[in-house]
């Protein structure tokens, strides 16, 4: 589940998107682990996670890497039914994960049936490439994502003015095409295939963005509205 925006990160502690994520888990009372690596394991972000999920039928926990206390990361993460990744700096997230072997473990967990979800940096990290503000005030392409999902991704497509033109320009220059999602819209993948887009709002769209005959084409994907 790749959220272009929304969920508890935006202060919606009763978000339908977060309910949907839990509904994908393999058990009725799933273990859900929050990874706040992209925010430097900010305490306030973890507090928001617990505020949102402690009221739901699940078993929330978080994993710190900047103040690491878990010795066996593989055993810990393989116990989780859902891994929910927060927003922040995508490049830093990938670097820290690779240093600790989290990238390898998450692929293993995904292949074993763990639901992988996230917002912003936590949404685009799963793709081969993405549009990110990791390197400063200007948006840029990042080409060494985890590669669990093919192509590229761009979040916040309607709320940040530069996202759309930068993504389109990069794709026109040969950057991998992929998907964009607006606020309160999420892309649901099964394996490496897009199943549907879903939204917690009455508006909002997702898009497939690709190079077609030398021009950038955007194909709107109308989400299913969650009620």
Tokens of 119: 């917002």
- Interior angle at CA 192, CA 105 and CA 28, nearest 5: 65
Give me the count of residues in the chain.
227
Distance spanning both ends of the chain, measured CA to CA: 18
Query: Quick check: is 159 catalytic?
Result: no
Residue 156 falls in the annotated catalytic set: yes
Whole-Å CA distances, 177 to 119, 123, 154, 182, 213: 19, 16, 10, 16, 13
Is residue 118 within 8 Å of residue 155, measured between CB atoms?
no
Of 148, 92, 138, 74, nearest to 115 by C-alpha is 148
Catalytic position from the list 15, 48, 156, 199: 156
Q: What b/e string do you get for 98-124 counting C-beta neighbours within 10 Å, with b at 16 or more?
A: eebebbebbeebbeeebbbbbbbbbbb
* Catalytic one of 120, 134, 152, 200: 120
Catalytic residues: 120, 156
């Amino acid at each position: 589940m790749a959220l272009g925006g929304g969920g508890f990160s935006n202060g919606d502690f009763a978000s339908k998107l977060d309910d949907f994520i839990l509904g994908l888990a393999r058990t009725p009372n799933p273990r859900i682990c929050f990874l706040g690596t992209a925010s430097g394991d900010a305490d306030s972000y973890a507090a928001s996670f617990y505020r949102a999920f402690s009221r739901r039928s699940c078993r929330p926990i978080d994993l710190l890497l900047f103040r690491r206390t878990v010795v066996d990361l593989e055993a810990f993460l393989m116990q989780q039914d859902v891994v929910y990744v927060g927003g922040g700096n995508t490049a830093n997230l990938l670097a820290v994960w690779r240093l600790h072997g989290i990238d390898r473990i998450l692929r293993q967990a995904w292949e074993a049936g763990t639901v992988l979800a996230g917002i912003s940096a936590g949404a685009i990290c799963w793709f081969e490439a993405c549009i990110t503000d990791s390197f400063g005030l200007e948006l840029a392409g990042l080409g060494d994502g985890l590669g669990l999902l093919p192509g590229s991704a761009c979040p916040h497509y309607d709320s940040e003015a530069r996202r759309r033109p930068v993504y389109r320009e990069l794709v026109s220059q040969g950057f991998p095409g992929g998907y964009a999602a607006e606020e309160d819209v999420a892309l649901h993948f099964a394996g490496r295939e897009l199943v549907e887009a879903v939204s917690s709002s009455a508006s909002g769209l997702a898009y497939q963005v690709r190079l077609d005959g030398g021009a950038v084409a955007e194909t709107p994907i109308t989400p299913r509205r969650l009620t």
